[in-house]
Every structure is written in C-alpha cells, then in structure tokens.
Amino acid sequence: MRSGQEDRTAAARIRDAAISEFANNGVAGTSIRAIAAAAGVSPGLVIHHFGSKDELRVACDEFVAGIIREVKGGAMASGGAFDVTAAFRTVGEIPAAKYLARTLVDGSPHVTELVDEIVADAMKYVATGVETGMVKPSEHEWERAAILTIWSLGSLVLHEHLERLIGVDITADFSQDRTAASAYMAPILEIYGQGVFTETTVQLMRAAFVDAAEKEQERESS
C-alpha cells in the first residue's frame, strides 16, 4: 500500500511533468499517456490523482498562479520591481513561464479564471509595494494592477518576438545570464521607475480622454 507521502510525491511529480508537457506541446497535443511516461508512472495513476486531463490542467494553473503569488508577494515586501514574468522563470526544473505563455493562447475556459486570479493577486502585492514605499500610490489601484499584469502576460505570449527584437528570452533563467537580465531589466526599470510619458503628454492625454469623459458624464446627468 502506498503511504500518504508517496501519494503526494507522485502527484507533485505528475503535475510537474504535465506542466513541462503542456508547455512544450500544448494541452490539446498532450495525452495522459505522455504525461505518465514523463512522470515515470502509469496512466492509471494520473487518473487516480487528478481524475482527467482537464482537472490536471486546472491543478497546473493553480500551481503556477501560486508561484507568482508567493514570489512576487515576497519581492514586494522586501522591495522589487513589478514584473510578473520574473516571478516564475525558474522553479526547479519546471518551465512555468513557458507553460503560462502556452496556456494563455490555448483557448481553454480556465484561462479566464487563471488570469483573474493572477490580477487579484497582483492587486494585493502591488498594495504591499505601496505600503513599503516601493510603488507609487494610484487613484486606480485595481485598473493599474490589471493593466500591468496584462502587459506582462502579453510579453510572455509574444516572447519569441520580444527575443527577436531585443535579443532576450524572457522565459529563460536570468540568474544564469546577467547580461540578459540587464538587457531586459534596464528598460523595464526605466518604464516602471520613470514612467512612459512626460508631464505635458500626461496633461494632454488627460484633457483629451479623462476630462472629456467626465464632462460628458456631467452633461448626461444634468
């Protein structure tokens, strides 16, 4: 009879193997048999632990979201730039960033739930960053967290084009390549640290969009 510890170890091994297989081949292109082979277990054991490929995929989503939550929460508490992709480039041998890049374009209904969870978590750790003085306060905390998260996730989806343009694979382990880390983080810190627009541009855009919208709402309510 298997012990509880052995079961937990097998389940984690299956989950990790599934993340790698899904990252490389997509959910549709990955079978239970392939996951079982990669994990060194029987297909029956995969079903025993997860029930179906779909349920296994949900477990992988939850695990990756948990990685982001844990790492970025700690980074914001200690002081660190807002960069979702940095949170999970390396987790042992698990290609978490490549998994997320692939799952975002797979078209599964679970993607919406995953993105919502990542944004909700981002809201919490950006708030921590505000409390620790690492992030400027915002009048639009939720919207800012959502936009920054979607920007980061979008860069994952288009990571091959980003690599083509700036020569950096953002899904790679930066701890092993300081040059790549600098080539990517320098502009990221410039964007997040100094902002994208000048004050004049901000005022012009506010007048054209925000102020104009507020005046329109006032006319409609009067």
Q: State the angle between helix axes of 43-50 and 32-39 in degrees (0 to 180), rounded to the nearest 10.
A: 100
The pLDDT mean for the chain works out to: 80
pLDDT value at position 221?
A: 82
Strand partners, 94: 91
pLDDT value at position 2?
A: 45
Check residue 51 and give left, alpha or beta (phi > 0: left; psi -120 to 50: alpha). left
Choose between 124 and 53: higher pLDDT.
53
**Unique residue bearing structure tokens 């505000």:** 130
pLDDT value at position 48?
A: 95
Least confident piece of the model among 51-55, 139-143, 169-173: 169-173
Q: What is the mean pLDDT of residues 195-201?
A: 70
Is a pLDDT exceeding 60 seen at residue 110? yes
Question: Model pTM?
Answer: 0.70
pLDDT value at position 203?
A: 80
Distance CA 58, CA 64 (A): 10
Is a pLDDT exceeding 90 seen at residue 202? no
Cβ-contact 59, 99 below 8 angstroms:
no
pLDDT value at position 122?
A: 84
Domain 4-176 coded CATH 1.10.357.10: yes
Domain boundaries, given as residue ranges, for the chain: 4-176, 186-222
Residue-wise pLDDT tens digits, 74-106: 655 555 555 555 555 545 567 878 888 888 887
pLDDT value at position 4?
A: 46
| Spatial CA neighbour of 96 closest among 185, 160, 22 | 22
pLDDT value at position 65?
A: 81
Choose between 215 and 198: higher pLDDT.
215
pLDDT value at position 131?
A: 85
In percent, the amount of the chain with pLDDT more than 90 equals: 27
pLDDT value at position 5?
A: 47
Q: What is the mean pLDDT of residues 115-119?
A: 87
Residue-wise pLDDT tens digits, 3-52: 444 545 899 999 999 999 999 998 889 999 999 999 999 999 999 999 99
* Length of the chain counted residue by residue: 222
HSE (side-chain half, CA atoms, 13 Å) at 37: 6
Q: Which long-range contacts (CB under 8 A, 24 or more apart) does 12-18 make?
A: 13/39, 13/40, 13/41, 14/39, 14/41, 14/45, 14/46, 14/49, 14/50, 14/56, 15/56, 15/59, 15/60, 15/63, 16/92, 16/93, 16/94, 18/56, 18/57, 18/59, 18/60
Q: Which amino acid is at 52?
A: S
In percent, the amount of the chain with pLDDT more than 70 equals: 78
pLDDT value at position 73?
A: 62
